[in-house]
Amino acid sequence: MFWVNPTLPSSTPGEFLKPEAADVHHGRILDPHGHLHMGSALGMFMIALLLQWTTQPQQRKDAVASAMRKARKPRFLNQAAARADVDAEGSDSEDEATSSSDSHGTPCVMKLGPGMRFLDEDLEEEWEKESYPKNQQRGAVLLALVAFGLAVDRFYAFYELQSCKGDQWWMQKSLQIGCILVMVKVFAFLLMVPADTGTRGEAASFFLPSKFWDSTYWIILGFFGCFFIVVNLWPISPSCDILSVMARVCSYKSVWIANEKLDCTLQGHTACQMIQLWMLIMPYALPQFRCFHLTFLWLGFFYVGVSWLYAEISGEKTHMVDLGLHFSMLVVTAILGTMKKYYLEKGMRRQFLEDNLQRKALEHLYVVFDGMVPKYVIPRMLMQKPICDYRPRVSILFVLIHDFHVSDANAALTFLNTYFGKMDDICAAHKVTKIETVAEEYVCSVGVVPEDLPGDTSAITAERQHQELLERLFGAAYEIQQLQNEAQKKFKMGIHTGEIHAGVIGQKLPRFRLFGDTINTSARMMQKASPGQLLFGEATNRLLPSSLKVKEADGIIVKMKGKGDVKAFVLLR
């Protein structure tokens, strides 16, 4: 038997309850904290609705997926999307999902039932890597809310003890304070659990090794499984004997009502409700459906075992006759949680399958468009949005293969493919953006793609950054000039710097184009250049870094319509 204050006579449960001090209505004792309990229940209901809403599959929210809806998708993608576009509650039939092929003849890729998994091992591994950290982070947020709720519950228990007369309650008060501190610590720690592998690596560099996050989550989950049992037992919560003593010396009405209803041990109604709540949390706290058998193991061995062991040690067997009934009720709750987790993961796997197919289709489209336009415009192309980007300062290089006359068409194409391919490699090495090729002309530039844009809007910083871009462009131009000996052809080259508008023209054969006086001036510079010469204007010369040696071109004046004469300069290096 546990300690009972010897100065207080023992009593039968409810003997010291004062009905006249409690709320009575038609002969029934009312819960003085009914509004608080109803508010807590409503709060948990709202949290459940929020979790349900956040775990529903998102129907192509991001921009790339929206583009895929508008674009013409391959037949296999449409079929897979039709099969995968289901809700998280698994509204499609099990027979259709587990059959060897669907109505379109497309083989199914997912096995349903207790061992739900993708038939493709690589796809299953990819699902594990993508979903596990996200589910773990979502479970951590939910457990943080649970820790906060348990801290509030222990504060309420401490407040009840404050109303008790005598100094013999110091141990119980100390335990409540200790529980509150532990729950606050767990709450703060769970909010640090990262959402994905990348974030986990960043967090690990500041806090703990990366492997710590994978193991600690399960340790905390096990801690909560134990705490939901221990918190309802003596000494954290009063035993039935201690509760009868508290009903006499404590002025708080909830203590009297708990004593009247024998709300003690793991079979009390408060403990059963808390454990039911834990059962309903499991679908969101466990990262994968295959882990759900742990819930039944916990219920069958830990809950039943601790209930029996506590009754044998303490001698409080008042509720043991109800153990079977309460266990059955909790098993039903666990089964409902299992069904929820099953359909939840089933819908998430279907959505993952659809997203995976879309991602593969997008990868193919990116490969196709990558050779036609800069990468940064591809998402907007898929969304069929007009593209017209203003760039305040770019430098454009025109290259013309001089005196290109070949009688054999095959030889001409071979020659152009060979040397334009080498120019592509040179531009890629110097991070220069290729714009287009037209006949024997090659066009590239710097300052067009977002990576070339200045991070600082100040004029001095922008000019300094464009000097670095010009150094890359002139480096590429110099290497292109070295191809002349190998090609046995002379190249006429021109560069100009200024503002332009960049956009994509056409849908069937889209082309990335630059518009404005800058590109016209660059072309005029190329036309005025002598074979083997690189010519550029005053706007470019003004921004050149000091490492490049130039001189004013003798006798070369470029006449521009509406701008008059423009000085030309030649690269000496």
- Whether 69 is covered by a domain: the verdict is no
Query: Which pLDDT value is given to residue 46?
Result: 62
Give the pTM: 0.56
- Contacts of residue 511, defined as CB under 8 A and 6 or more positions apart, other chains included, come to 372, 373, 436, 504, 505
Cα–Cα distances (Å) from 211 to 133, 187, 193, 203, in that order, read 12, 20, 12, 12
Range of the domain at 276: 19-56+123-357
By three-state DSSP, how is residue 240 classified? helix
Peptide bond into 235 cis (omega under 30): yes
- Distance of alpha carbon 119 from alpha carbon 111, whole angstroms: 6
Let me know whether 409 and 456 are in one domain: yes
Same domain for 345 and 481? Answer: no
**What local confidence, expressed as pLDDT, does residue 75 receive?**
38
Determine, yes or no, domain membership for 449. yes
Query: 78 Cβ partners below 8 Å, 6+ apart?
Result: none
- Indicate the residue type of 513: R
Pairing of strands 511-515, 491-505: antiparallel
Q: Does residue 202 lie in a domain region?
A: yes
Please give the tally of structural domains in the chain.
2
Burial 261-281 (b: 16+ CB within 10 A, else e): ebbbbbbbebbbebbbebbbb
What average pLDDT is seen over the chain? Answer: 76
Together in a domain, 297 and 222: yes
Task: Return the structure tokens found at 118.
Answer: 């993708």
Q: Is residue 465 part of a domain?
A: yes
74 vs 271: CA distance, rounded Å: 56
What contacts 408, CB < 8 A, 6 or more positions away?
none
Q: Which residue from 351, 357, 282 is spatially nearest to 87, judged by alpha carbons?
A: 351
The answer as to whether 101 is a domain residue is: no
Q: What is the Cα–Cα distance from 569 to 549, expressed in whole angstroms?
A: 10
- Residue 422 maps to which CATH number? 3.30.70.1230
* Domain end among 317, 337, 357: 357
Write out residues in the chain with pLDDT < 50, as ranges. Answer: 1-34, 55-107, 196-210
Query: Which of 340, 357, 374 lies at the terminal end of a domain, its last residue?
Result: 357
Same domain, 135 and 282: yes
Quick one: 34 and 181 in the same domain?
Answer: yes
Q: Specify if 71 maps to a domain.
A: no
Is residue 379 a part of any domain in this protein? Answer: no
Q: Which helix (H) or strand (E) element contains residue 476?
A: helix 459-481
For residue range 331-376, list pLDDT tens digits in order. 999 999 999 999 999 999 999 888 888 888 777 777 777 777 888 8
Give the list of residues 6+ apart from residue 67 with CB closer than 8 angstroms, or none: 379, 382, 383, 384
Q: Kindly state whether residues 348 and 426 are assigned to the same domain.
A: no
173 and 305 part of one domain: yes
pLDDT given at position 11: 41
Assess whether 553 and 480 both reside in one domain.
yes
What does the alpha-carbon distance between residue 257 and residue 282 come to, in Å, rounded to a whole number? Answer: 31
Does 118 map to a domain? no
Q: Both tokens of residue 398?
A: 């025109």
CA-closest candidate to residue 480, choices 395, 419, 406, 418: 419
Identify which of 147, 134, 231, 133 has the alpha carbon closest to the alpha carbon of residue 188: 147
